[in-house]
Structure formats: structure tokens, C-alpha cells
Chains A and B, each alone.
Chain A
Amino acid sequence: MGEKYFGKAIKRTEDPRFIQGQGHYVDDIKVVGQTYVTMVRCPHAHATIKSVNTDKAKAHKGVIDIITGQEMVDAGIGSIPVGWLLDGLKTPPHYAIAVDKARFQGEIVAAVIADEPLSAEDAADLVEVQYETHGGVANPAKALESGAPQVHDDAEGNLAFDWNIGDKDATDAAFDSAAYKVKLDLRNNRLIPNAIEPRASLAEYNVGTGEYTLHTTSQNPHVHRLIIAAFVMGIPEHKLRVISPDVGGGFGSKIFQYPEEIVVLYASKKLGRPVKWTAKRSESFMTDSHGRDHVSTAEMCADADGNISGLRVTTAANMGAYLTLFAPAVPTYLYGTLLAGPYRNPNIYCEVKGVFTNTTPVDAYRGAGRPEATYLLERMVSTLADECGIDAAEFRRKNFIAPDAFPYQTPVALAYDSGNYEPALDKALERLGYEQLRKEQAEGRKQGRYIGIGFSTYLEACGLAPSAVVGSLGAQAGQWESSLIRVHPTGVVEVYTGSHSHGQGHETAFAQIVADRLGVPMENVEVIHGDTGKMPFGWGTYGSRSGPVGTSAIVKAVEKVQDKARKIAAHLLEARDEDIEAEDGNYSVKGSPDKAIGFGDIALQAHLCHNYPEDLEPGLEAMAMYDPANFVYPFGTHICVVEVNPDTGKVKILRYVAVDDCGPQINPLIVQGQVHGGIVQGAAQALYENALYDDNAQLLSANYMEYVLPKANMFPMFEIDHTVTPSPHNPLGVKGIGEAGAISSTAAVANAVNDALQAFGIKHLDMPLSAPRIWQAIQDAAPAQAAD
């Protein structure tokens, strides 16, 4: 098999349409007779809906209909279900339009449909809703306190679940006998995904065939089809076609089935006209699933030699007002199980309470649980290293799991299949010039310059997932992936994949793999994704699964095609199957290279079947479904260098070194791009982003003036390198890289800032490490400093 394309930094084949403004995003689509919907949203965090009066609104020019919650319930439209069930999980219903109560600011209370967008907007202002407001609570720790407003009648104390992992007794014993102990209260601040494309949905209903078509901004169209058809609308799955064309970023926020999607579908049948909804950015802020939002207490201990001996964690995790698809899994099985990291720690215990609050539902956001785990773990490791008097890098190195210890069973369920952590650390330290930098840091302090160096030697688990494993943990889904390879009579190849690309470059990367294996030029291979009407069932893109799981299905399908091609070649060349050699699309007989046939000819013959093996079916196409044997475990070392200005509290990132190991890289350009984007997203949590609610659970940061999205001039160029430790259990040995940057960087940046602040005697400062917060902390520490 040639390696003409695999591993090469090939520029993307999808780019021409994007750079020429020919992308096909949902809001770009216009169909004849299209109507527009504006949602009327509850302005209060918690309110009983006393009445909804639509008379004035209905009379407005251009208004066709107004839909309320009760109407949809009466029509048999069900609640939007949760897709992961933990033991004892409370699952209150989640209706697309609120029926008698709204439980977070922005929840839909009516949908106004008109023939022009501005008519719908104007009419929405005329809908009169009588509310009886109640107190609202936003903070998960506060929501657990007695006397807090109750979000759902059947979730006492606002508890959605109480979950734990690890051996409590063994961990407590480790602390009792430990030589060194540290304890921190840690806030993992709440984030709002903010993909630059706002969510949008366009629904059409065909009366003749009874088929709905939904164009929507989804990362996983088949999941949308399954959930919405089977569980919400009660229609046969094949009567709902879901198409996710070009999608402008997701980061997790476009995994879920949203109320607006249900509304446009219902309305399209009722009205007999296409119905379109496009989010305003303020709606995105209020209603796209939020991320993170943990309040934790963590303790870590070590023996006299500085070997980590225990970690115990209690976390209150905000679930928001309703549970959305993956929500219960994110702060449990995607969090607690990552608390060993790359370290040899035999004792871990973690308890997590999932808490309902009057806020936007919280679910998976780039990293989904693993950034939360990594931030906590790496802050604790750096703090413990200090306590032990050992250098931050050396402490990590000393505690790494050794390369010959795999497979390695952690005390928190996961068994790592492979790993080699030191080379990545060494590479990062060398690139950085670590020793010299520490000297500069010390010198700088004497001159009143506060430089900080922060580490994140992360490990993550992705490539979701072995279906039986996640099924046993409560997932109501499989996590395999599919591919259909169709070779046309002319030899051009279509690759259908259940993965979805919304920025990840699959059209290029997947074509590289197939073109190599079939020995055809890349221009003859087209990758198709995002339409349930075109391809077999797939579970979509999230959890960094398209690399490890998506490509594995493709490789399996290609192998079937190659197998069949050989058989056809053998027949046509009058040779035995075993004697056929395939190289670069040329199939020849071993020892007689002039007896050969090209892949294109084989494809034609497979369709003509004029001279064809009797025991072989016509055609040249194959499908494969791949269920991974294990998660994959990318890892790496990120080191961030910052300078804190003591007069302003501002942080400048001076340098950022990232050495990541995602196994073999299909396309290094794409891999690096994923790392760059992830670094910025994670760093932005550490320094800038913060979804803020007031004491009445009103969202204060609901637009770009109050919520700081990272900009180009906040970052330097990144220094990117890699090591290669293949995964032993998938055909290409690849591990995911889509989330690793974001998983690692929050910790690296936070550790760097906290390292700088040590000079002021500040032990720990929570995120976001904004200028006012840092400045204030320095002021507060000043008297203590003066006293030294």
C-alpha cells in the first residue's frame, strides 16, 4: 500500500467553497413558501406561566400562527429525552415549549410564525404573557443548600444525581498516613460555547409521503433523527430526514436536540409550509448548552519521597434547568475516571452531585468533563509539588506511569492501553529552555517582573467509545461508527461516513486514507457526510471520535473493497487470489507484472459482469461498522509562560509550548489546527470567559460586550511539536486530537498565572484570571507581603 497521502500536510479540499463564500450553511438555504419563526422567551429565571394571550400578535400583518406548549403536548409531542441514565437519576420532563413553568431565562413560552422574519419579530413583542415569578438559583453549591428555590418538584434539594467512584476507605487511609497534604477549593467557571455560526433549523413536511426534512446545525444528524423521530414526535425514523450541511463550528453545543428543532418540525406539518428559525446571538448565549460549572474541593497527598499517594474530590456540578442528551455523563464518567491522569496514584475517591439550577442546561463542551478533571488534577499536582519542595516538572516526571507498565489499570475504572509520557515532557522542556527560563524568572522578580511558568502534563480518554462499556455505565446509545465505500463504474469513489465535519477537515483527511489504500488519486475520492437520507446510521462527531472510530470504519470498508477487487482481478487475469499483488491501484500477478489490470478497469468490470466470478455479487461497494475495543488515550505536555503586570493585573502569554501525542497523524496541518484552536479555547477559560448569573439567576453575560471571546491579539504564535505512540487497538493506531488542546491548556495557563502570583504569597486564585481579579488579589496580599 502506498503512502502517497497519509501523513502529509495536504491543503484541504473543502476550502475552495469556504474561501469564495460558497459554503452552504443552514441559514443560507431558502425554500419556496418558507415561513419564519421568532420565539417568545421567558425573561425570568423561574416563573409560573399564568396565561399567554396571543390575540394582538395574531392580528399583526404577516402572522400565520402562534404555537404554545400545551398545544404541542395535546398533539402528542413528547419530552426531549436524556441519553445517559445514572443510577437514581432524576429525569423531569423537558418540553420544547414551556407548559406551566419556565425554569431558566430564555426558555420558550410561545412560537410566532410569519411570512417575513421582521413580521415574526414584531409580532412576538405583542404576545402578552402573565408570569408569577419565583426566586431563582444559579450556583450549584447554593442550589444544594436548604431553602434554595426548587427547580423541579420531583428533584428534592435540586439533586439530579449523587455519584461516586473509587475506594473511599483506602483513600482516606492514604491521607491519614501521608507526609504531605494540600487542599484547594476550585471553581471551574461556566462557559458558553459560541460557535460563530448561530444555530439554525429549517423544517419541511411533504404531505404526500409523510416525510419531514430537517436542515439543522447538528454534529450528528442520525442522533437527531433517532431522538426526535422515535422519542419526541413518535414517527417512524425513516420519515424524518436530517441534513446537516456546512456547519459553522459546534464544540459540543450542536450535539443536542433543541426545542427550536422540535417547534419547526411540528409547525411545518401543521401549517403545511416550511418553517425556519435562526438564532440571534443573544439567543445563543441564553439557550445553547453551556459548559463546565463545577464547584469542587480537592485534596491531594504524597509520601515522604514525593510520590503521589491519594486524591479525594467532592464536586457540585451544575446541570442547569433540564438534563440534555449527554449531561449526566459529563461530570461523572468523563470526569471522575480521568482523575488519575498520567500518574501512578493508587488511591482516588471522587463524589459528584449533579444539581438542577435555574440556568441554561449544561452539557458537553469541548473536552466534556476531561478539561474539568485536568484543571483540577494539574492545579493539585503543581500545588503538591510546591508543598513537597520539588520542581513542578520533576515532580510530574517522577510520578509518571512508566512506559513498560501498560496496560495500566487506574483506581478509577479506566485501563490505559498505551502511553509514554516522559519523551513529550522532555521535548517540551527542551523547546522551552526550561532551566534558563527559571533563571530569568528569578532575575525578573528582582526587577519587579512577574513571570510564571505553568505545566499541564495531561492525559485524556476519547475516541468514544466501546458500546458495551458505555452501555453498562448508562449510555442509551451505541458508540460505533459506520462507513460505506461506493466505487462507481468509472472508478471514482464515494466515501460515506457517519462522522460529521464542522471544521475538522474530514473531506480531506478521510480521502487521504482511502486514496492511499485504493491507489487512486485523491481527486477521485469524495467524502460525504451529514445527510441521513444518503448514508447508513452513524453516531456523529464529538468526543474526538472521528479519528479513532470514524477512520476505523472507513479502513474496514476499504479492506472489503480491496478484497473484492482482488478477486475480480484474479478472475480476469486467470490467476489465484493469493497471487494478486496490489500496488498504487495496479493489480498484477506475482511474478508476471505484465499481467495487470488497473483499479478503474476492475470497477468497470464489476458493473458489466461480462466476465466475472460466479460466486461473487456484482458491484464494488462495501459497508463496515466499527465498534472500538477501548477508548484511546492521547497525552502530552503543555507549558505556558506568562507575565503578570502588577499595576494592572493583566496577563500576557509570552510563550506556549505544546507537545501532543495523538499517535500517527493523518494530516499534520489539520492536527496542528485542532491543537491551536483548542489551546485558545482552553486558555480563554483560564483568562477571559465567564458566564455570569446574578442572584436571581439572570444571565448577565449575554452578548459579546460582557462575555469576552478570545481575540487574535491576546495570543502569541504557538510552538507545536509531537511524539507518536500509536494506539494498539485500531487499524491506523490513531488517537483523537480535537479536544486535547482545550483539555490541556486551561490548566497550563492557570498554573502559569498562579506560579507568577506565588511571588505575592498568593496560593491559589480561581478562574477566570481576569485583570481586576488579579489586581485585587495582589492588593489584598500586599500587607502580608510587607510583613515578610
Chain B
Amino acid sequence: MEVTVNVNGQSYTRDVEPRTLLVHFIREQLGLTGTHVGCETTICGACTVLLDGNAVKSCNVLAVQADGAEVKTVEGLANNGDLHPAQEGFWEKHGLQCGYCTPGFLMSTVQLLDRNPNPSEQEIRDAFEGNYCRCTGYHNIVKAVQYAAEKMSGQAVAAD
């Protein structure tokens, strides 16, 4: 089956088996290996991408379901070399150690701050129900998101 998916602003048309998962399409067919596979039961969140603006577990979405849709992955977060505030926050606050869960957390962070620009600590922790980290203990991930939230609301203010 032929599918056309816009990933990070670029359109790709490829032939896929109907059972091909979106995460495998992104990683294997498009060579964008920033999105990771951590489990096969949608729980760990390493595969999180934005599908038409919504965070989804790409291990649980078929590539054919993304036909005609817009997908954003971690590779699409930086803007012309300028890091996204979420990326900056994770770097500044040591919100990552082995880095494997990080792309998934970054995409979930983008969705969280899009829907809730000034989340409380509890809201941040609850928003990551669908993302596992085995390394950081989540403490600095919370700080990273708080940094990003501050930076993004700062930018919004500056733009006024």
C-alpha cells in the first residue's frame, strides 16, 4: 500500500505492508532513528510522536493510519539549529542520562505545554503517565519541563 506522510515538514511517499507500524516506518523507511522502540504494549512512551498535533504512541499506530497526516518527531523540534525550549530545559537541568526515553519525553512535553502552558509539579508528573524513565528518577525531568514552561511563556510575553 502506498502512503504519503508529512514528517517534520517534509512529505514522504512510500510503499508499506498494511501491518507496518508508524514507528518502524519512521525509523526504517525514513531513517529517522530518533524515535525509539521500548516495548510493544504502548506503555513505555519511547516511541511518542505528534500526529496532527496529538501525542501518540507510534508503536500502536499503523503507518497507513498516518496517510495524509502530519507527524512531528524529535528531529523536527529544533528550529534552524535553535533548540526548542523543551530540548534546552532537558539539557540545562540534566533531565536525561542514557537518552533513550528522551525523545518520547520531549514530544510529550511539547503536547503538555501546548495544552497547559503553566503546569504545576503534579500536573507535570501526571502528564508523564505514559512515559517511563529508568535513569533519572523523574526529579530533573520535572525541572526541565518547568524550565521550558518558563522559557516559553517568556517568549510569548516578549512577542507581545
Contacts and interface: CB of A to CB of B under 8 A. Distances in A.
B34 A20 contact: yes
A673 B140 contact: yes
Interface in B28-80: 28, 31-41, 43-44, 46, 73-75, 77-78
21 contacts: A12-B91, A19-B91, A19-B96, A20-B75, A20-B77, A21-B103, A27-B36, A27-B37, A196-B132, A196-B133, A197-B36, A197-B38, A198-B37, A280-B40, A281-B39, A503-B97, A503-B98, A673-B135, A681-B137, A712-B128, A718-B139
A25 B103 CA distance: 13
A312 interface: no
B99 A281 contact: no
Nearest to B43: A704
A248 interface: yes
Contacts of B77: 20
> Ordered nearest first, which 7 A-B pairs have the shortest CB separation?
A21-B34, A248-B100, A18-B99, A676-B137, A503-B98, A503-B97, A21-B74
B41 A19 contact: no
A662 B98 CA distance: 21
B96 A15 contact: yes
Contacts of B41: 281, 703-705
Given A196-B44, A713-B129, A717-B121, A19 B102 contact: yes
A529 B92 CA distance: 24
Contacts of A194: 134
Interface residues on B, range: 35 or more
B132 A677 contact: no
A19 B93 CA distance: 12
A28 to B, nearest CB: 4
B145 to A, nearest CB: 10
Interface in A704-718: 704-705, 709, 711-713, 715, 717-718
Given A23-B100, A717-B142, 17 more contacts: A11-B91, A18-B99, A21-B73, A195-B98, A195-B100, A197-B98, A246-B98, A248-B36, A248-B98, A502-B98, A672-B94, A673-B94, A677-B136, A703-B41, A704-B41, A712-B138, A712-B141
B75 to A, nearest CB: 5
Nearest to B17: A118
Given A20-B34, A712-B138, A12 B94 contact: yes
A703 B98 contact: no
Contact of A681 (B40, B46, B134): B134
Most buried by A among B126, B133, B137: B137
Interface string A585-629: 000000000000000000000000000000000000000000000
Contacts of B73: 21
Interface residues on A, range: 35 or more
B44 A704 contact: yes
B125 interface: yes
Contacts of B75: 20-22
A715 to B, nearest CB: 6
Contacts of A251: 134
A504 B97 contact: yes
Nearest to A668: B94
Nearest to A504: B97
Contact of A18 (B46, B96, B139): B96
